Amino acid sequence: MDFGISLQSLFLSDVAAFMSGALATAAMFGARYRRRAAAAASHRNDARPGWLEHGPDGILVFDAALSCTFASASMVRLLGEEAETYIGQTLDDLVGEEQVAAGEAVARVRAGRPGAETLFRTTRPTGEPLWVEMRIRAAPTDGTIIASLRDISTRKTAELALRVANLELNRLAGSDGLTDLANRRRFDQALEGECRRASRNNTPVSLLLIDVDRFKAFNDHYGHQAGDTCLKLIAGTLQATAARTSDVVARFGGEEFALLLPGLDERAAATMAAEAHAAVLALSRPHVRNPDAGGIVTVSVGCATVQPTPDTFKDIGGTLIAAADRALYDAKRLGRNRVVAPALQEEAEREAEWSAAADARLGRLDALRSLGALRETPSLNRIARMATMLLGLPGAFITVLDHDGVVVVGHHGMGDGPNAPPQALCETLVGARRPVVVRAPATDAQFGSFAAEQGLGFLAVAPLLSDDDLQHLGGLWVVDRQSRDAFDEPKRMLLSRLAALAMEDIEGRHRASVAQAA
């Protein structure tokens, strides 16, 4: 019995809740219906002047809550809907996406301005798009808003067409007629703007000047029409190379192109220059009058970078062009078909210096070997033994870095003799002027493989440096299978002195052999 009463109570409570919700919803819709009906009745009974009803503009009146209470008969001509359709609509319903702008206009007139304007887009029932200009003013007493609406679609269409035409005209005025790249005028404007921006942001600006090699000879051989086709092909290739939207690719003049690269430093610009050069080579465009490059079209590229400041940005554009032009001239002078850039030049100079040093070192070794100075001797074994005794380590060996590998010329405490370190490992030590000490070589990126193979827990190596020109010819190594504390400065100096003693022994035998031969 109690269970039945509970079900009945639950059922009655659910019905009550449902009825309560339904009544609330009905009351809400009823209030909205009554409000719209009242507004419609007010609209029917509203005696407005004839010019307001039938003037050229559509008229809407909104109450203080911005709900429409009156719509003129001319609204049907303007928007294609009967006037009563708008009764009860809010201003937001009318303007759609332009609610913020309309709300700001209302706020201005309620703040005391005599009037305000806003625009919005809508469509007629036929689907035809419509631009509407709405001018509003506020009644001084009750907060009523009066809106005057006018069709300005024809004007807006004309304005948009004019804007498109102006954009196209500006594009044509700033474009090269043959390649469709930026012309010199647009390039100069972009250069000034990017230098100004770079001075504010403290960023670099780079420029590539690119010239087609022997292009006059190309035109003479293939004809000017083929020359134009070639220029358009190169222009498209350069445009594809400059992937960033901020990069500006321009026809600088004749067969010369420019790439303006905002924000790129010297090394990044040099990389871009190399990519542009390679992309043109990849075209494999025939050019029989360019035999030095294999009979294909090539380009020379000059690269420059500047860092504008607030005081120099106005003049820095000319400086950048002059620097890139000098680099381009150097590329032509050095034989064409190449890139000249500060970053690449510094790298080339470093490589040349390294190559010269390597040649000198190997030449010195050749001279020592020819007179028998690069072989294991008792004196070098004694120096290795001195190293183990003075530094308190169980093993030491002396190596020379030769053309084809590493030669052990002295050792002590390594049983039958140590395995020589790999040539690649010894080459990484070339250029060192002080001992290199490794407390845990098995975990070191450079020494790990050799240390694991030899079972080493500690090693130190001092370079063998020639007396006169400090050429790095080899090293004196001291090792232990156990881990040790790092050498202090006196031990490092002692290891360096022992390495110098080994070098004196090798060069002394060389001098003796020379004297004996004389």
- For residue 81, indicate whether it is catalytic: no
Question: What count of other Cβ atoms lies within 10 Å of the Cβ of residue 238?
Answer: 24
As a whole number of angstroms, the distance between CA 163 and CA 496 comes to 79
Q: In angstroms, what CA-CA distances link 101 with 106, 154, 441?
A: 9, 22, 72
Q: Tell me the backbone φ, ψ of residue 175, rounded to 5 degrees.
A: -115, 150
First to last CA, the chain: 134
DSSP helix/strand/coil, 309? coil
Nearest one of 415, 418, 438, 447 to 484, comparing CA atoms = 438
- Tokens read off for 170: 């500006």
Q: Tell me the backbone φ, ψ of residue 475, rounded to 5 degrees.
A: -160, 155
DSSP helix/strand/coil, 369? helix
Do 252 and 186 touch, CB atoms closer than 8 A?
no
Do 187 and 248 touch, CB atoms closer than 8 A?
yes
As a whole number of angstroms, the distance between CA 211 and CA 252 comes to 9
DSSP helix/strand/coil, 464? strand
Residue with tokens 């919803």: 25
Catalytic residue among 194, 255, 266, 507: 255
The residues with which 304 forms a beta bridge, in sequence order, are: 207
As a whole number of angstroms, the distance between CA 347 and CA 330 comes to 16
Do 17 and 25 touch, CB atoms closer than 8 A?
no
* Residues designated as active site: 255
